[in-house]
Amino acid sequence: MTNRRSKKLSAFLWHRRIGLAAIVLVVILAITGIMLNHTEEFELDSTYVDSSVLMSWYGLEPDTDPVSFRADGHTITQWGNQVFFDNHAITQSEQQLKGAIKGEQFIVVAFEKEVLLVSFDGELIERVPTGNSLSNTRRLGVKYLRPVVEAENGLYYMADEHIIDWDVVINADVQWSRPVALNKQQLDELYVAFRGKGLSLERVVLDLHSGRIFGAYGNYVMDAAALGLLWLSGSGLWVWSSRKRKQRRKRHYQKHHRI
């Protein structure tokens, strides 16, 4: 008898504990589920969130200073892993920007192990690896309208007209690309371009509903909430049925043991 009462008490306590632990997540699931069922009515897809905290959480807030070079009257900037031509993004790169120059047919943008060929209108044409023979690029310059790079091995290489092959040259008459500072207006325009419109409210609500907003294991957190809800349903039914059986036994006892 004591063991049976202990099991009932244990189930009741776990029912209460899991209920308290899951209530916040279950409320989030319920509210976000309702919102996602009425996306158009709530205008989730056309409403944007630009909270700095939320943007940082999603990796959309820059955590470094921009690095910029000028070429043919345009500004080439790397901010984080985004690369901009003036104030519009053209690509992404994890490598460090080393310079930009005006070539014969393209604007040439150099990174540590590759160069980008960009049209004078800001269209990315091609990414060209510089190859192992150049080692990592230290800086970029121009000579005879052809790109020249200074490599980490201390040698200088000039590209052919097609920016495919590189030959060793001497460091003479090379105009080296140098970083430039951006004024406040340029920084403001670049910041807007970096962040875009912000995050759509639909994406935030969807990530809340799925748990992805909590990180790599966020979906498992929401899975745990769903399992907790199933446990609450099962344990609640068990506790209710146990009480019903107890009440029936009590009434049966009272019926047959009246004095």
Q: Which CATH number characterizes residue 129's domain? A: 2.130.10.10
Of the listed ranges 37-41, 197-201, 251-255, the one predicted with least confidence: 251-255
Structural domain includes residue 47: yes
For a pLDDT cut of 70, what percent of the chain falls above it? 73
Q: Using an 8 Å Cβ cutoff, are 24 and 18 in contact? A: no
pTM, two decimal places = 0.63
Clarify whether residues 115 and 161 are in a common domain.
yes
| Per-residue pLDDT at 199 | 74
| pLDDT of 1 above 50 | no
Could you report the per-residue pLDDT of 213-252, keeping only the tens digit for each?
Answer: 776 666 776 777 677 667 666 666 666 666 666 666 666 5
Structural domain includes residue 204: yes
- Which is more confident, 196 or 157? 157
Burial class of residue 241 in the structure, from the number of CB atoms within 10 Å of its CB (0-12 exposed, 13-18 middle, 19+ buried): exposed
Reported confidence tier of residue 256, pLDDT bands at 50, 70, 90: low
Structural domain includes residue 105: yes
Domain that includes residue 203, residue range: 2-55+199-248
Clarify whether residues 129 and 10 are in a common domain.
no
Clarify whether residues 90 and 147 are in a common domain.
yes
Q: Using an 8 Å Cβ cutoff, are 60 and 195 in contact? A: yes
Clarify whether residues 191 and 206 are in a common domain.
no
Positive or negative, the CA dihedral 189, 193, 199, 200 is: positive
Structural domain includes residue 94: yes
Could you report the per-residue pLDDT of 3-58, keeping only the tens digit for each?
Answer: 555 555 555 566 566 666 666 777 777 788 888 888 888 888 777 777 777 777 77
Clarify whether residues 190 and 170 are in a common domain.
yes
Provide mean pLDDT across the span 115-132: 90
Could you report the per-residue pLDDT of 148-195, keeping only the tens digit for each?
Answer: 999 988 899 999 888 888 899 998 899 999 999 999 999 988 988 887
Provide mean pLDDT across the span 138-147: 93
Q: Using an 8 Å Cβ cutoff, are 54 and 204 in contact? A: yes
Could you report the per-residue pLDDT of 70-104, keeping only the tens digit for each?
Answer: 999 999 999 988 999 998 999 999 999 999 999 98
Q: Using an 8 Å Cβ cutoff, are 55 and 199 in contact? A: yes
CA distance 68 to 232: 58
